[in-house]
């Protein structure tokens, strides 16, 4: 991948990382002040807290994904699939700058994970 293009992607990732950190901070602040620990299980505030905790987990995973992509830039292997070693389509990186796998490998990993989850649920 061209150096100028990598710099553009790095800037996108840095901006996305800052936005994610801001979202995490606001969500954590909200979570600290919103729920009465003695609330009943049927309390709607408790359900809202559970949704926000799930959202926080998703956002933290996204942050890790962005950090991994930034480390790949630092190591000089950004845009290379971490699974098969082939270049990641620049169009994919344009849409998802934190992608660390090519589309084929990403689909395969998701297919394997889905299959494992279904097998686990059957047990």
> Are 80 and 100 within 8 A, CB to CB?
no
Indicate whether 120 pLDDT > 90: no
When pLDDT is averaged across residues 40-66 and rounded to a whole number, the result is 85
Q: Is the pTM of this model over 0.85?
A: no
What span, in angstroms and rounded, lies between the C-alpha atoms of 55 and 62?
11
pLDDT of residue 106: 96
Sorted by sequence, the CB contacts under 8 Å of residue 37 that are 6+ apart come out as none
Q: What superfamily in CATH does domain 3-122 come from?
A: DksA, coiled-coil domain (1.20.120.910)
When pLDDT is averaged across residues 57-83 and rounded to a whole number, the result is 95
Cα 24 to chain centroid, rounded = 13
20-47 pLDDT, tens per residue? 999 999 999 888 876 555 555 566 677 8
78-119 pLDDT, tens per residue? 999 999 999 999 999 989 999 999 999 999 999 999 999 888
């Amino acid at each position: 991948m061209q150096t100028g293009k990598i710099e553009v992607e790095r800037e996108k990732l840095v901006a996305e990382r800052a936005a994610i950190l801001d979202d995490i901070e606001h969500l954590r602040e909200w979570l600290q002040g919103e729920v009465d620990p003695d609330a009943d299980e049927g309390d709607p505030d408790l359900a809202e807290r559970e949704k926000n905790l799930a959202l926080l987990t998703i956002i933290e995973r996204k942050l890790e994904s962005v950090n991994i992509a930034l480390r790949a830039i630092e190591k000089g292997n950004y845009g290379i699939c971490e699974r098969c070693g082939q270049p990641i389509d620049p169009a994919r990186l344009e849409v998802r700058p934190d992608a660390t796998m090519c589309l084929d490998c990403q689909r395969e990993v998701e297919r394997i994970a889905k299959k494992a989850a279904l097998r686990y649920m059957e047990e």
